[in-house]
């Protein structure tokens, strides 16, 4: 059976992940494509962990534009495994969009995604909010999509409930109109106001406002007699609102004020109705957000940068999106302790709604490789550098890989190595990452400006996927000078490959998890990085001791255990996620 047929016939519970920017997919051009890196590895690794736990997973991402370095348009499902599929969402045109510009695509993407899930629900014979056990979004752009999905599902639930509650009390055309306009009226967020407005509008228009309110209250109480004093309480609350704040509104707005109070009080006087509606809305609210980074943190890191640099990163727009998501999402996974603190303070997220879920490690890829496994990577480095395999083996290798982006501060690493290269003749520096953009060109010029680095330091460009793990293993020292990290996955990956670590103080993994074993330098401080690298080159015993201690932190970053604990946390917060189906099935049968 093909992966597609196995997926389609599987009876496993389904989970949706949304990661919307960069070049997400089955084949990730890590280190070589814009906006494609640690988050994409995180999502794919999480999907594999959920697969192991017995779920089938749909990863939604933006499509409709050419894939990295290809003419191929991503618009058909792809399968990461028999139980993990990628679905590509069109929207925003047929060109790649930076994550800072992705907001222009979201409306179209949400419309498409909403319809896709409704079609899946129709095939499965269930409601749209019942297709997936939960929806886990990654970064703010995907989170906006998740919030809007929940809004639409809440609109459906609320409009259906209101129609049932007002059957016979309100003309059918008015109910039909509510259904037609529900996404614009946001019924799910203000069902009480909508109920009150429909009740009020159904009364005789020739009566004055108070008479209409009294007639509406009487009708509601006669049909929903849960509280014999409901009618008088509704009238009392409405009159109180008129007296306290009604004088501040022009006459045209008074009916809206009355509708708001009428609906709110009417539902409050019907506890069974109120409870059922709230439970229905809660069951459909299955969105969990993993930010990966936060605009508030990045803005703080860049507060002293030139305005031209800050303007291009659109911090204000991003922060406002994030605040909206934080306010409307009841489960948020933080990938670093620094991010958790920001969520609790600047974003006002309750502590019990947060879960600590840092990036874990793919220990099949990031580990110590033996000499036979390294032969292809030695050949790759020989091709890139012109050095022989023997020269590379005889050297102490310093390594860094990440996107070609100014925030990664590869220039700091080059300048630092240039300061010590003459006094450390047995060392080499390899820097990976793409694309070959203006940053790559700037670094090439920086490299050529240092005579001491000729034949000693090399820009590799995008590193082939098969060489990523071996390169970490080959390096005795991994350096990350980055100034903009949500966690710092490359730093954690280096610890699994028996490498010593030099890091900026802007990398949460280094600061929060291994502050005594890594050497941590002030971001941008070339002299500090130079001194740290030289100390490890000059003292092989300390270098290996640090690498050994760093390797001990690997066990706490197990994807499957972390995913299981995350699901347990969501269930403790009333998500009601079904248990995965993990038993073996006969060959050719569904799982």
Q: Left if phi > 0, otherwise alpha if psi is -120 to 50, otherwise beta: which for 168?
A: left
Residue 468 to residue 30: CA distance in whole angstroms: 9
Q: What are phi and psi of 409, to 5 degrees?
A: 55, 45
Q: Which stretches of 245-370 are DSSP H helices? A: 254-268, 271-284, 295-301, 307-313, 315-327, 337-345
Residue 65 to residue 407: CA distance in whole angstroms: 26
The CATH number that domain 3-154+284-356 falls under is 3.40.50.2000
Residues 6 or more apart whose CB falls under 8 angstroms from that of 8 comprise: none
The listed CATH number (3.40.640.10, 3.40.50.2000, 3.30.300.90, 3.40.50.1970) that belongs to domain 371-556: 3.40.50.2000
Q: What are phi and psi of 506, to 5 degrees?
A: -105, 10
Nearest C-alpha neighbor of 358 from the set 232, 198, 513, 158: 513
- Say if residue 435 is preceded by a cis peptide, omega within 30 of 0: yes
Residue intervals in the chain for CATH 3.40.50.2000: 3-154+284-356, 371-556
**3-class DSSP state for residue 292?**
coil
In the block, which residue shows the tokens 């704040």? 245
Q: Are 263 and 194 in contact (CB under 8 A)?
A: yes
Q: For every one of its 591 residues, what pLDDT tens digit does the chain have, with 9 covering 90 and above? A: 899 999 999 999 999 999 999 999 998 886 668 898 889 989 999 999 999 999 999 999 999 999 888 888 988 999 999 999 999 999 999 999 999 999 999 999 999 999 999 999 999 999 999 999 999 999 999 999 999 999 999 999 999 999 988 988 999 999 998 888 877 778 988 999 999 999 999 998 878 888 888 898 888 888 887 666 777 888 888 778 777 776 677 878 888 888 888 888 888 888 888 889 999 999 999 999 999 999 998 888 788 888 888 898 999 999 999 999 999 999 999 998 889 999 999 999 999 999 999 999 888 889 999 999 999 999 999 999 999 999 999 999 999 999 898 999 999 999 999 999 999 999 999 999 988 889 999 999 999 999 999 999 999 998 998 999 999 999 999 999 999 887 888 999 999 999 999 999 999 899 989 999 999 999 999 999 999 999 999 999 999 999 999 998 887 888 999 999 999 999 999 999 999 998 654 444 444
Q: Are 501 and 389 in contact (CB under 8 A)?
A: no
Tokens of 400: 């860094």
Residue 185 to residue 190: CA distance in whole angstroms: 8
Nearest C-alpha neighbor of 525 from the set 433, 388, 411: 411
């Amino acid at each position: 059976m093909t992966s597609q047929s196995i997926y389609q016939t599987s009876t496993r519970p389904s989970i949706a992940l949304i990661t919307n920017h960069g070049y997400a997919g089955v084949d990730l051009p890590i280190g070589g494509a814009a906006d494609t890196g640690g988050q994409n590895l995180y999502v794919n690794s999480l999907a594999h962990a959920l697969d192991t736990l017995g779920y089938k997973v749909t990863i939604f991402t933006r499509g409709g534009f050419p894939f990295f370095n290809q003419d191929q348009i991503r618009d058909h499902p792809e399968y990461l495994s028999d139980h993990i599929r990628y679905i590509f969402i069109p929207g925003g045109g047929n060109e790649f969009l930076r994550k800072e510009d992705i907001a222009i695509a979201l409306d179209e993407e949400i419309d498409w995604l909403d319809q896709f899930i409704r079609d899946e629900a129709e095939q499965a014979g269930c409601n749209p909010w019942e297709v997936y056990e939960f929806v886990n979004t990654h970064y703010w752009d995907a989170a906006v999509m998740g919030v809007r999905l929940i809004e639409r599902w809440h609109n459906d639930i609320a409009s259906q409930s209101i129609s049932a509650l007002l059957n016979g009390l309100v003309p059918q055309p008015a109910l039909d109109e509510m259904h037609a306009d529900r996404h614009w009226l946001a019924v799910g967020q203000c069902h009480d106001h909508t109920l009150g407005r429909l009740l009020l509008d159904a009364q005789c228009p020739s009566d004055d406002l108070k008479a209409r309110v009294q007639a509406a209250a009487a009708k509601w109480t006669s049909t929903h007699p849960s509280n014999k004093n409901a009618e008088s309480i509704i009238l009392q609350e409405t009159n109180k609102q008129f007296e306290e704040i009604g004088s501040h509104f022009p006459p045209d707005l008074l009916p809206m004020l009355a509708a708001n109070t009428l609906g709110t009080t009417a539902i409050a006087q019907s506890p069974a109705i109120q409870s059922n509606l709230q439970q229905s809305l809660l069951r459909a609210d299955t969105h969990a957000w993993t930010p990966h980074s936060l605009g508030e943190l990045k803005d703080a890191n860049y507060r002293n940068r030139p305005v031209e640099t800050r303007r291009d990163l659109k911090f204000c727009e991003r922060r406002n999106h994030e605040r909206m998501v934080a306010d409307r999402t009841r489960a948020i996974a933080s990938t670093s302790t620094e991010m958790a603190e920001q969520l609790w303070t600047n974003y006002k997220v309750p502590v019990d709604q947060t879960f600590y879920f840092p990036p874990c490690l793919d220990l099949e890829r990031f580990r110590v490789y033996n000499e036979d496994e390294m032969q292809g990577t030695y050949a790759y480095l020989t091709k890139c550098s012109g050095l022989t395999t023997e020269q590379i083996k005889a050297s102490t290798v310093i390594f860094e890989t990440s996107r070609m982006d100014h925030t990664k501060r590869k220039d700091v690493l080059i300048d630092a190595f240039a300061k010590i290269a003459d006094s450390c003749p047995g060392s080499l520096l390899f820097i990976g990452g793409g694309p070959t953009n203006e940053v790559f060109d700037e670094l090439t010029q920086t490299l050529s400006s240092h005579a001491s680095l000729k034949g000693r330091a090399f820009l590799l460009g995008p590193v082939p996927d098969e060489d990523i793990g071996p390169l970490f293993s080959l390096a005795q020292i991994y350096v990350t000078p980055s100034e903009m990290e949500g966690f710092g996955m490359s730093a954690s990956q280096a610890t699994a490959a028996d490498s010593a670590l030099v890091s900026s103080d802007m990398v949460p993994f280094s600061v929060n998890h291994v502050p005594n074993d890594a050497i941590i330098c002030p971001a941008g401080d070339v002299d500090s990085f130079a001194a740290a690298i030289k100390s490890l080159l000059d003292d092989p015993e300390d270098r290996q001791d640090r690498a050994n201690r760093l390797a001990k932190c690997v066990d706490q970053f197990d994807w499957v255990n972390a995913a299981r604990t995350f699901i347990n946390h969501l269930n403790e917060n009333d998500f009601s996620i079904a248990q995965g189906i993990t038993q073996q099935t006969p060959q050719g049968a569904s799982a």
